[in-house]
Amino acid sequence: MFDALEKSLSTLKNSSVLVSDGNPGVEEELTVALDFSDGSRLEAVFWRIIKNGATGLSSFDHQHQYGLPARIDALKELQKELHNKTVTEARFDKETGDLLFQFTGNVKVQVFNVTAYEIWHIKFADGTEEYSNNVRRKRTPDRR
């Protein structure tokens, strides 16, 4: 059922990414766009960085100050973390619908699928697409 998505994700290996604002002009919610060097594009609302095995900054931190001198610009931080990095692995978690991208430099980006609505969308270079709400529907519900 998820074989096509996993196969498409595997084509991202060795791609670099450019990170941009996926919904410019909308201040309430940061949507990031990851443009892969192979021509694929991912837009995501909820994500976090995992660096050297520890969780780090996430989309939930965007525009919060937390006692820091300035508000956090999560977009700029993600751009900085992924600059000059390439994908070493891209996976789909069948249980949660999350996407996980491993990059060089021991950096991961986890893209969350936390609602029944479309919060991530990926379009691959070959034109195939997948939406977070569709993968949620494809999962087999627990029948206990």
Reduce the secondary structure of 65-125 to three states and give it as a string. CCCCCCCCCHHHHHHHHHCCCEEEEEEECCCCCCEEEEECCCEEEEECCCCCCCCEEEECC
CA distance from start to end of the chain = 21
Contact between residue 81 and residue 49 where contact means Cβ atoms under 8 Å apart: yes
Under 8 Å between Cβ of 78 and 32: yes
Query: pLDDT per residue over 40-53, tens digit each?
Result: 999 999 999 999 99
Domain containing 115: what range? 3-138
Query: Taking the model in full, what pTM does it have?
Result: 0.89
pLDDT the model gives residue 140: 47
Coil, strand or helix at 14: coil
Question: Is 73 domain-assigned?
Answer: yes
**Sites in the chain below the pLDDT cut of 50:** 140, 143-144
Number of Cβ within 10 Å of residue 76's Cβ equals 11
> For the chain, how many structural domains are there in total?
1
Asked whether residue 144 is domain-assigned, the answer is no
